[in-house]
Each structure stands twice: as structure tokens, then as C-alpha cells.
């Protein structure tokens, strides 16, 4: 049995309580996420007296849960006046429910529950129940080779897709279209798209697992990055998989976000395998919000620092270089992290780092969405968003390596590759925002990247 110990700090009273319950999964489906972010509705007080709480869905189905609340505290500052729970172990639940914590604090605590339970490498069949769709690879095959990196990575990207889609759907209220597709050369994917909905104009979260022989155009790209690839009879068997997402909100005060985490494996002529990971997460705001930028980068830095103190500064600089629109002399957004060809210090450690990055996706973005979801905006601000989207399109079609690789790979699904493009965008001839405006402030950061943390 999983035991969760909660210590409650109150200003004037001493209390001891013990609550026992088994999670009620069906009821929790209607409330998932409502306790995580303020924009999702019900306050903590509305759950008092219940024997089951909505967050219980995130605990494994086979676990019964016991909550114990006890403790005392002297009078303290105002942030604790409504009661704040400090949680030990995996149970950050109470801190999420507490009044007086910010969007960003709630998101960080929530992610520990969501991602720790969903990325636990336990029974494959049980884990598949939480996915948006059945895995691309047959479940029996995954069970037979559950210790191989290809299986572990496929499970991770499917869990990341499900966690992000469910979080976005809770904010938006809409339903993702789940579209499975197959590639005749080998493999396939799952595209989840929410389009022209309440909060998001276009929200796409794709998973792909493809294999076959590496096309020459793709091999040229890899050789240009220093890869030494030894083909047999002109063929290079490969397996590539990843999760990729681009979110275009309707409100210009909510930034666009992109993330991608991938694994590549190539079998050479002598049977040996080359492997590497790549990916990153980056933010593209229409208007600059310093607090949002700091939160976003600090969350990514924390994920990086768990593995190496040099990861964040190196991958932040790499991101600023990569998302550069050369013909405009500006970055696509305010960056984040980006890395590729990661094959050290070991496969296990590299995979652990990628898992930490995947876990950071929800907490680095969702609180920003919740903060701005009800912001009002003018037609002029919407027009500026359309112009910035035009820059987004330019980068993706002209420079983005993933788009180029996808278009160069036979059998690639064009709808999924171009999912990253917004429904609407705008190009004006020789447009330049007036000096001293919020739009000009945004341009300054795009032309001269800042250190946010």
C-alpha cells in the first residue's frame, strides 16, 4: 500500500485527521487537472468531506491510497492562512491544492505526480491504458523486448503525448482528434490535433515510430553533422522515433510552444549500432512577459541540472543558435533548450536526461497558459500575433531540420510534418513596429537573446 504523509500548517489550530480511500477512477476522469491550475475551476474547499479526490486518477490503478494529515504550526505569514500542505515522498498533492501558491508552484508540484506515475517503467500493458491510442508497435512485441531502448523510448513518447494532450484539453475544454497512420516502408504514428477550439487555434502532439533504410538525402544531412555511416550494399537500416508538438493559442498573450524529443538508431554494415538522442523545448511569445520567461527557463534549467550543470547553459545557447532566422536577423522566439547527437556519457544516462526533459513540458507551459487564458486583447494585438506567426512559418519551412528530414524520408506523412504550421498567419511588406512599443520590446529580445536565469 502506498502511504502518503501530509503535514498541514495552520495559524491557529492543531488538528489530527486520518482519511482512507481507494481511488475512484471513473469519477476522477471528470475532474482531472482541476486541482492543478487555477484556471481549471474547482477550489480545494469544494473537495472537503469527500472520501476520494480527483487527483487520485494519477496514482497507479493497482495502488490503494491512505492519506494521513497531522501537525501543528505557530502563527505565520499570510500565505499560509488558508492552510498549506507540505508533502513528503511522491505526495505533492496537497501543495497543489493549497490556496496561496502561484500558477508556477502548482505546475511544478503537479508535474511530479503526473510524470512520475506515467513514466514509471512498470507493466507495459497497464501503462498502455493511459495512452491516447494503442502503441505504434504491437504490444506483444514491446513486452518481448521491454528492456530494449527502442521499447522504453516508445513508451516514454506515448506517455508524454498523453500527459500533454490531457493537460491541454482540460484548459481548452475541447477534444483532440486522434489520427493513427501507417507507413508502408515501416512503422507509423499517432497524430493528436485540437483545431479551432476555445483556447487553442491549433494544438498538435505527434508521435512517430518509423524504420526502414535511411534515404540518401537524410544520410547526407547526418554526414554533414559528422556522422560516419558505413552502409552495406548502399543500405543503412534505421529506426527513428519521437514526440513532437507545436501549440498555437488564439490569445496573443499566450505564447506558442514547441517541443520535440527523439531517438535514432542505425545499424551499420558490420552489425554494430549507432544511437543518439535529440530534442528540446522552446517558447515563442507574441508579447514579452518577464515572469513567464523566467519560469519557462528556470523549469528547463532544473530538469537539466539534475543531470549535468553544463547542460542548461550549453543547450540554451544551442537553442538560440538553432532557432535563428538568418534572413531576418532574429530568433524565432525566446528560446529554451536544444540538443542533438547526444550519445554520452551512456545510453542509460542520456535516456534519463531525456525523461527529465519530457517531464518538464507540462509544468513549464501550462501555468503560463492559465495565467493569460482570460486576458483581453485588441485587434492590433491580434494582427501582431499574425505577423509573428509568419516568422514561425518561415523558420519551419526554410530552416527546421526535422521538417527537412521528414520531407526527405519516403513515406512520410505530410499532414503530420506540416502540423506545426498555424491555421492563420500574415505577412506585411516592410513592417517594423514603432519604437517604445511592446512590439518593439519583443523585437529587441529576438535580435539580442537574454539570459533569463
Helix (H, G, I), strand (E, B) or coil at 90: coil
- 258, 295, 307, 372: the catalytic one is 258
- The CA distance from 37 to 44, in Å, is 11
Angle between helices 361-372 and 149-172 (to 10 degrees): 10
φ/ψ region of 46 (left if φ > 0, alpha if ψ in -120 to 50, else beta) reads: alpha
Contact 398, 340 (CB under 8 A): no
φ/ψ region of 416 (left if φ > 0, alpha if ψ in -120 to 50, else beta) reads: alpha
Tell me the C-alpha to C-alpha distance, in Å, between residue 317 and each of 128, 245, 310, 322, 343. Answer: 36, 21, 11, 9, 19
Return the H-helix or E-strand segment holding 295: helix 290-305
What angle (nearest 5°) sits at the alpha carbon of residue 292, between those of residues 289 and 297?
A: 125
Return the H-helix or E-strand segment holding 179: strand 177-182
- The CA distance from 207 to 160, in Å, is 9
Residue 283: burial class (beta carbons within 10 Å; 0-12, 13-18, 19+): buried
- The CA distance from 195 to 289, in Å, is 26
- The CA distance from 202 to 263, in Å, is 26
Tell me the C-alpha to C-alpha distance, in Å, between residue 138 and each of 187, 215, 424. Answer: 10, 25, 37
Contact 221, 227 (CB under 8 A): no
Active site residue 258: yes
Cell of 285: 511569445
Number of neighbours of residue 289 by Cβ within 10 angstroms: 17
Given the C-alpha cell 496561496, which residue does it identify? Answer: 100
Q: Is the bond preceding 226 in cis, omega lying within 30 degrees of 0?
A: no
Contact 11, 73 (CB under 8 A): yes
Point out the residues that are catalytic.
258
Amino acid at each position: 500500500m502506498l502511504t502518503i504523509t501530509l503535514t498541514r500548517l495552520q495559524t491557529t489550530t492543531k488538528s489530527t485527521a486520518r482519511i482512507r480511500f481507494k481511488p475512484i477512477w471513473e469519477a476522477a476522469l471528470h475532474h482531472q487537472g482541476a486541482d492543478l491550475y487555477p484556471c481549471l475551476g474547482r477550489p480545494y474547499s469544494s473537495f472537503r468531506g469527500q472520501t476520494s479526490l480527483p487527483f487520485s486518477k494519477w496514482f497507479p490503478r493497482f495502488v490503494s491510497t491512505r492519506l494521513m494529515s497531522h501537525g501543528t504550526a505557530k502563527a505565520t505569514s499570510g500565505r499560509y492562512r488558508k492552510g498549506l500542505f507540505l508533502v513528503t515522498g511522491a505526495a505533492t498533492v496537497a501543495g497543489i491544492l493549497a490556496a496561496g501558491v502561484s500558477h508556477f508552484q502548482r505546475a511544478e508540484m503537479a508535474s511530479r505526480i503526473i510524470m512520475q506515475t506515467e513514466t514509471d517503467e512498470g507493466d507495459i500493458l497497464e501503462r498502455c491504458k493511459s495512452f491516447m491510442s494503442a502503441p505504434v508497435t504491437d504490444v506483444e512485441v514491446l513486452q518481448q523486448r521491454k528492456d530494449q531502448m527502442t521499447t522504453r523510448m516508445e513508451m516514454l513518447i506515448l506517455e508524454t503525448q498523453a500527459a500533454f494532450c490531457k493537460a491541454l484539453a482540460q484548459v481548452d475544454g475541447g477534444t483532440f482528434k486522434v489520427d493513427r497512420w501507417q507507413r508502408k516502408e515501416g512503422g507509423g504514428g499517432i497524430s493528436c490535433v485540437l483545431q479551432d477550439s476555445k483556447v487553442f487555434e491549433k494544438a498538435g502532439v505527434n508521435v512517430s515510430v518509423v524504420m526502414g533504410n535511411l534515404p540518401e538525402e537524410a544520410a547526407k544531412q547526418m554526414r554533414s553533422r559528422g556522422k560516419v555511416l558505413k552502409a552495406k550494399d548502399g543500405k543503412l537500416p534505421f529506426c527513428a522515433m519521437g514526440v513532437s508538438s507545436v501549440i498555437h493559442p488564439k490569445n496573443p498573450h499566450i505564447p506558442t510552444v514547441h517541443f520535440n524529443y527523439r531517438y535514432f538508431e542505425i545499424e551499420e554494415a558490420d552489425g554494430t549500432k549507432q544511437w543518439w538522442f535529440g530534442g528540446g523545448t522552446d517558447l515563442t511569445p507574441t508579447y514579452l512577459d518577464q515572469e513567464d520567461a523566467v519560469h519557462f527557463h528556470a523549469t528547463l534549467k532544473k530538469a537539466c541540472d539534475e543531470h549535468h550543470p553544463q547542460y542548461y547553459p550549453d543547450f540554451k545557447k544551442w537553442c538560440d543558435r538553432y532557432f535563428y532566422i538568418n534572413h531576418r536577423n532574429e530568433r524565432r522566439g525566446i528560446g529554451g533548450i536544444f540538443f542533438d547527437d547526444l550519445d554520452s556519457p551512456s545510453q542509460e544516462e542520456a535516456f534519463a536526461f531525456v525523461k527529465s526533459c519530457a517531464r518538464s513540458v507540462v509544468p513549464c507551459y501550462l501555468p503560463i497558459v492559465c495565467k493569460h487564458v482570460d486576458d483581453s486583447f485588441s485587434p492590433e494585438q491580434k494582427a501582431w500575433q499574425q505577423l509573428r506567426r509568419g516568422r514561425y512559418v518561415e523558420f519551419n519551412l526554410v530552416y527546421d531540420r526535422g521538417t527537412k528530414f521528414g520531407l526527405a524520408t519516403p513515406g512520410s506523412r505530410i499532414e503530420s510534418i506540416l502540423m506545426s504550421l498555424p491555421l492563420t498567419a500574415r505577412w506585411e511588406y516592410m513592417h517594423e513596429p514603432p519604437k517604445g512599443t511592446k512590439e518593439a520590446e519583443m523585437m529587441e529580445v529576438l535580435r539580442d537573446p537574454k539570459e533569463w536565469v
